[in-house]
Structure 1
């Protein structure tokens, strides 16, 4: 096996001065999963929502995902009616940022539900210029692999798609190797977010991509419990007598909705190590363990991730980016002891935060 040539599927940086959005996606971006900013009356706080977007952009994020789990699935409730308004606010703010900064931002819209609902959501995103739909299949728990693939084909006829392996604790469902193999056959598949929080299932996805022979599928970690290792590990598989090596190059993460400036620094550092082939420094491995500990507190792993979204909000309130920890569900909130755990990691791992970065710019973002 060692005598076989290795086919590397990580796409190197383009030589063009203005790489296309897909080239940038392949090389690896920080894409925060954007939370929902609410008033105390649980209405959209557009000023704070736009401030969040400006924060992510100035922190160096290369894209944004909205109407995903971190945004709260309830935005789709007809009685709440925030799905379309959020798509519009994010698109408008990113349009303005692109015009003033000269940068481009990769736009991802969360899409879920049965095919009719998902198709309507995908059409809304496409009409507003979103680059891809992140397909949440958690609501299709009784459907076969072929039925799931037909669902994906239908959505892909409207907008490019981002595969999504969501962990079961947050509403996902098991997705076997056969599903990922079939999904990779869709030319409209531009990327996959692997967020199963499970090493075996992560390898199922990567093995399917390797078997597909494609080198144009962007691989992104959503495994908030294993960020650094995902970004540094070369994944190698023997496929039909050849070795194929894959690399997870970016992250679409709820964890990166907080301390985003540090996330950008981390991704850049991991990229340098990958591209240079240098040994992985011990301090980076230590940082990975610290980040996992931080995620345990913020995502509330102790209570089965029930306090995940409130935990993200808690950090953003602490930094002044959000006014209060208000969720659409008035009964939702931090789990017992979670605030203390978050304070523990904020004090113990101050180097993970970007508090000073936020403090110096917050007034500008709130204009």
Structure 2
């Protein structure tokens, strides 16, 4: 069995938290807080973790910080580590070739640090180019060739700088021997999510939901595993929904899905980039992070009233069982 097939089998039916990166207001990573956070996440029932993802502000981290972040998780987590790879903010890519090179370089770095797979951030430029689909496939091939790891395609909504993959591209990506699957983060586009899942049917690869605001429905449409920002703070809440659906316990699924929806409504709302800060506030309330390390200097500044909304939601949920 190949490494790709082994990873597909191991991750199917599991939750992979898109973990946060503890920082101070200046963007300095708090590695003491990170280690404690990693230990708490690793103690939960997870399929693995996703580092350098959007929730962890992976493209904003310096190269040394990225390396140290992944080392902490590799030392702490026994399961698979999926590393997001793309164009770091520190790289001023002026051509598509430079963007490719930066993405490949990040994947090679991840492999050298012990990652088990890479998740390729989509290049938004592909959507505007006549040969965009062919170029997107070639980028994934080149990443796999360079780093030697299984590759997860990342359908990311445009508000986060992504490229909404058409079904034809998803089919082409999943036909690659190195492809583990596709991760869907369409935000609120139900038709796009459904079309992507239909395109993946019969591939034997993972259909990974990253649909925090459509989590339950995405499972009903055919997603079979999860890589979500909500699990950066609420692993148990996320597991409850996936477990109930997998077990065919529809009564438990409806209840668990409703609870997750309430939390998603409080955290994944406009401005959507504020979800990272909201998730950090939730992690503080959960006891996963200290207050001093719960800052997102790369997102919008949010009023205190938004924190109050998040905390009130968590307090309400705490009165119930996951």
The offset of 1:319, in angstroms, is 2.5
TM-score (norm 2): 0.84
Pick aligned residue for 1:339 from 297, 307, 312: 307
The offset of 1:152, in angstroms, is 1.3
Unaligned 5+ runs, structure 2: 88-98
CA separation of 1:286 and 1:261: change in aligned 2, threshold 3 A: closer
Alpha-carbon distance between aligned partners in 1 of 2:239 and 2:164, rounded to the nearest angstrom? 30
Tell me if 1:285 matches 2:254.
Answer: yes
CA separation of 1:74 and 1:160: change in aligned 2, threshold 3 A: closer
Which structure has greater helix proportion?
A: 2
Tell me if 1:163 matches 2:153.
Answer: yes
Q: Is the 8 A contact 1:219 1:250 kept in 2?
A: yes
Q: Name the structure 1 match of 2:96.
A: none
TM-score (norm 1): 0.75
Q: Name the structure 2 match of 1:134.
A: 119
Q: Is the 8 A contact 2:208 2:225 kept in 1?
A: yes
Q: Name the structure 2 match of 1:318.
A: 285
Tell me if 1:108 matches 2:77.
Answer: no
The offset of 1:89, in angstroms, is 1.9
Instruction: Classify the secondary structure of the residue corresponding to 1:225.
Output: helix
Alpha-carbon distance between aligned partners in 2 of 1:124 and 1:339, rounded to the nearest angstrom? 36
Q: Is the 8 A contact 2:84 2:119 kept in 1?
A: yes
Q: Name the structure 2 match of 1:84.
A: 67
Within-5 A mapping of 1:49-198: 49-77=34-62, 81-94=64-77, 98=78, 105-113=79-87, 114-141=99-126, 142-143=128-129, 144-157=132-145, 158=147, 159-197=149-187, 198=189
The structure having more radius of gyration, on CA atoms, is 1
Alpha-carbon distance between aligned partners in 1 of 2:321 and 2:275, rounded to the nearest angstrom? 18
Alpha-carbon distance between aligned partners in 2 of 1:304 and 1:328, rounded to the nearest angstrom? 15
RMSD of aligned residue pairs (Cα, Å)? 2.4
Pick aligned residue for 1:255 from 207, 212, 230: 230
Unaligned 5+ runs, structure 1: 1-18, 99-104, 236-246, 355-367
Q: Is the 8 A contact 1:306 1:335 kept in 2?
A: no
Q: How many residues align?
A: 299
The offset of 1:41, in angstroms, is 5.5
Q: Is the 8 A contact 1:75 1:83 kept in 2?
A: no
Instruction: Classify the secondary structure of the residue corresponding to 2:55.
Output: helix
